[in-house]
Amino acid sequence: MVDLDPGTDGNAAPLCPSCGVTALPGSALGLPVDFACDNAGCPAVGERVR
């Protein structure tokens, strides 16, 4: 599990519009997107977030 805190590096990740959880980089999820939701309880999990 990759844990990225947007408050520590100044490079804030976007928030998922469906669940409000911080999105993870697609590279960390194996997805061809910039950022994607990684909340398993979210209807938009795995979908692109920007």
**Binding interface with Zn ion (CB under 5 A):** 16, 18-19, 37, 39, 42, 44
Nearest CB to Zn ion, comparing residues 20 and 27: 20
In angstroms, what is the minimal distance from the CB of 43 to Zn ion? Answer: 7
In angstroms, what is the minimal distance from the CB of 11 to Zn ion? Answer: 20
Nearest CB to Zn ion, comparing residues 10 and 41: 41
C-alpha 21 chain-centroid distance: 7
Q: Is 32 exposed, middle or buried (0-12, 13-18, 19+ CB in 10 A)?
A: exposed
Q: How far apart are the first and last CA of the chain?
A: 21
